[in-house]
Amino acid sequence: MIIQKKRIRNISPYISHIQNGSKIIIGITDPLRFSTTLKRLGFLEPYQKGQSILPASLGNISKYNAEGKIIKHKDSPMETAYRQIDWHWTEWHGPYRVEQSKIVDVPYKRYPRSFIPPPSIELMLSLNAEDIFLLTAPALEKTEENNKVLKHVVNLFLEYFGECEFFTENLEVILKTPLKRLNWVVLPQGEMPWEKFRKEVEPIVKSAPRGNQQILYYRLKTVNALKPDFRAIGTGGFHGYIVHGFTENKLYVLESMYYGNATYVLSELWEEISKKTKAEILNEKLQKARVIHRVGWKKKIEELIKGGGEKNGK
C-alpha cells in the first residue's frame, strides 16, 4: 500500500493488516526519480546500493529527525541562563585609542527547557530481489511502543517525497546490504594552519546566527591551536558538526553550530564514531566529557587534551 499524503496523524490504520511482532521497512521504490531531492538530502552520485546517510533538514519533521527539539516549560518559573558574546570596547592609553575585546557570559531569564533528542533515522539505498532501487529506513518491529517512531518515519518520507510504502518481503536481502555512511567528509590529515582551516569551516560558521559566529571561530581556533591531526566536517543531517581528532590520545572533540551549549569529547577510534548515529554520539554514556560553553571552557578543553582525557570536563 502506497501512502500519498502531506502527513498522517495516526499510524494504526496503515499497519493494521501487518502482524504484531513483524518487522516493517518503510521506504519508496525507484528513488532515482527524486534525484534532485536525494542530492539535497546528502546522497552522492553515482547512486549505489548501501549508501546511507542521516538526511539533511528540509522541513519541520526532518529538522526534528536531525536536530531534536526544545520544549519550553511556560508553566514553570523562569530560570537564569547564559549566552556568550564577543564584547568590544575602547580604552585610551594616553593619547592612543586602543580597541579591546573578550568573551563574556551574559545572563538572561528564560523558561526552563527540555531537549528532546533527535530520532536520527537514517535512510539507505538498497536493491530488492528484482534489482530495483529502494530507499528505506531501518527495519522496525510492529509493537505498540514503536507506533510513535513508525509514524515519524512515515511522515519523514512524506515530507521528503510525498509518498511511502511498507516492505515486509525480502527482508533479509534489504537488511544485509552493507552500509556506506556518507555523514562525514574527512579533511586532509595532519596539522593545519588556522587560516587554512578557517576557510574550510567558513561556509558552516556563516550559516549560524551572526551574533554567534565570532564565538564559534574562537572555539574552533582554540581547539585547532592544540594541534589535532584529524578533522571531519558533517554532511546531510550532521551539517554544522565539526570534529577535531587527537588520534594518539584517542580523543575527538565535537563542536556543533546549533545543538546545545557544550563541546563534546569522545574517546573512541574514529572508525567506530563514524559508524554511529547522531543519537548515539549525543548519548552521554558515550561521552568522555561535556564541557559547558561558559567562562573556563578554554582551560578545561586544554586540560582534557593535554592530559589525554584524564580529567572530567563536565
Shared-domain flag, residues 199 and 144: no
Q: What is the pLDDT of residue 143?
A: 92
Query: Taking residues 189-194, what's their average pLDDT?
Result: 84
How far is Cα 114 from Cα 284, in angstroms, rounded to an integer?
A: 15
The residue among 203, 271, 276, 194 whose CA lies nearest residue 228 is 194
Beta bridge partners of 51: 180
Digit-coded pLDDT (tens) for 218-228: 999 999 999 88
Shared-domain flag, residues 101 and 121: no
Query: Taking residues 68-80, what's their average pLDDT?
Result: 95
Helix (H, G, I), strand (E, B) or coil at 119: coil
Are the beta carbons of 221 and 214 closer than 8 angstroms?
Answer: no
- How many structural domains compose the chain? 3
Q: What is the pLDDT of residue 285?
A: 66
Shared-domain flag, residues 194 and 302: yes
Average pLDDT, the chain: 85
Q: What is the pLDDT of residue 309?
A: 55
**Per-residue confidence band for 53, with pLDDT thresholds at 50, 70 and 90:** very high
Could you tell me the strand order of the sheet in which 287-292 lies?
A: 184-186, 230-234, 241-246, 251-256, 262-266, 287-292
Count of C-beta atoms within a 10 Å radius of residue 133: 17
Range of the domain at 205: 184-306
Spatial CB neighbours of 164, under 8 Å, sequence gap ≥ 6: 2, 3, 26, 27, 28, 154, 157, 158
> What's 190's DSSP letter?
S
The three cell numbers of residue 131 are: 534489482
Which comes out higher in pLDDT, residue 65 or 261? 65
Shared-domain flag, residues 193 and 275: yes
Is 313 inside any structural domain?
Answer: no
Digit-coded pLDDT (tens) for 268-283: 777 778 777 777 777 7
The residue among 258, 11, 52 whose CA lies nearest residue 143 is 11
How far is Cα 49 from Cα 174, in angstroms, rounded to an integer?
A: 10
Strand runs labelled E in 190-311: 230-234, 241-246, 251-256, 262-266, 287-292
Is pLDDT at 314 greater than 70 in this prediction?
A: no
Query: Taking residues 141-149, what's their average pLDDT?
Result: 93
Shared-domain flag, residues 252 and 166: no
How far is Cα 24 from Cα 62, in angstroms, rounded to an integer?
A: 20
Shared-domain flag, residues 167 and 125: yes
Is 314 inside any structural domain?
Answer: no
Is pLDDT at 173 greater than 70 in this prediction?
A: no
Query: Taking residues 229-235, what's their average pLDDT?
Result: 88
pTM: 0.69
Shared-domain flag, residues 246 and 299: yes
